[in-house]
């Protein structure tokens, strides 16, 4: 198949109103462009860059025109990397932190599972220390007084806190299971006794 950018069906890139939307739109758009470039077998780097500029629309061309970098090496990959960095989620640092701070534990969720969800939300927050921020948010949003006491008074770090809470939660679950098992056994014994009494009464 001849290298012909006229075969591309992709619509021009149009960014969102904020950085978060623009990043999502850019990621999907560049993936679609590269898929079409592979489909029509456009491999020449200059043609790939031209396709990026033509189909990228005014916003992409404006960013390219404002660039002061000299064109050396793979010009297409260099431009793509520059644009990806421009639309990167690190531009959304305050939004990402806002989402992180809104996180709350779900009903019945273990501390380890909650901490794992918090860690996922640290991406793009650019915290100085992810573990410290996760631990701070754990004790600020947890209703588990034992957890709060252990962290504050024993000065536990995040790994120590998660290990301690897993032990506590495992023990609590085992005690509950044993208690439920005892209630079932008691009920069965009562049933057996009732049956014996009815039998002896006859």
Spatial distance between the Cα atoms of 87 and 54, rounded to a whole number of angstroms: 19
Average pLDDT of the segment spanning 90-112:
86
The residue among 176, 5, 145, 7 whose CA lies nearest residue 76 is: 5
Which of 45, 10, 43 is CA-nearest to residue 28? 10
How do residues 56-72 score in pLDDT, each as one tens digit? 887 788 777 765 455 55
Q: How confident is the model at residue 185 (pLDDT cuts 50, 70, 90)?
A: low
The more confident residue out of 1 and 142 is 142
pTM greater than 0.85:
no
Cβ atoms of 118 and 138 closer than 8 Å: yes
Report the pLDDT value the prediction gives residue 174, as an integer from 0 to 100: 84
At which residue do the structure tokens 């061309």 appear? 61
pLDDT reading at 160 higher than 50: yes
Token pair for 162: 């998660």
Residue-wise pLDDT for 18-29, tens only, equals 555 677 788 888
Among candidate residues 92, 64, 91, the one with its CA nearest the CA of residue 80: 64
Whether 74 has a pLDDT exceeding 90, the answer reads no
**DSSP secondary structure code for residue 43 in this structure:** -
Region of poorest pLDDT, from 3-17, 59-73, 182-196: 182-196
């Amino acid at each position: 198949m001849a290298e012909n950018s006229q075969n591309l069906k992709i619509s021009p890139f149009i960014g969102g109103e904020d950085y978060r939307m623009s990043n999502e739109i850019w990621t999907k758009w560049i993936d679609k462009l590269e898929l079409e470039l592979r489909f029509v077998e456009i491999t020449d780097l200059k043609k790939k860059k031209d396709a990026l500029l033509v189909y990228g629309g005014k916003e992409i061309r404006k960013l390219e025109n404002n660039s002061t970098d000299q064109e050396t090496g793979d010009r297409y990959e260099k431009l793509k990397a520059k644009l990806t960095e421009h639309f990167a989620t690190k531009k959304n640092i305050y939004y990402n932190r806002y989402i992180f701070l809104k996180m709350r534990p779900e009903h019945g969720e273990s501390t380890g599972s909650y901490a794992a969800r918090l860690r996922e939300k640290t991406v793009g927050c650019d915290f100085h220390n992810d573990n410290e921020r996760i631990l701070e948010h754990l004790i600020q949003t947890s209703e588990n007084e034992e957890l709060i006491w252990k962290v504050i008074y024993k000065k536990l770090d995040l790994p120590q806190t998660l290990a301690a809470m897993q032990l506590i939660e495992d023990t609590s679950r085992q005690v509950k299971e044993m208690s439920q098992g005892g209630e079932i056994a008691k009920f069965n014994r009562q049933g057996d006794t009732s049956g014996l009494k009815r039998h002896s009464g006859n």
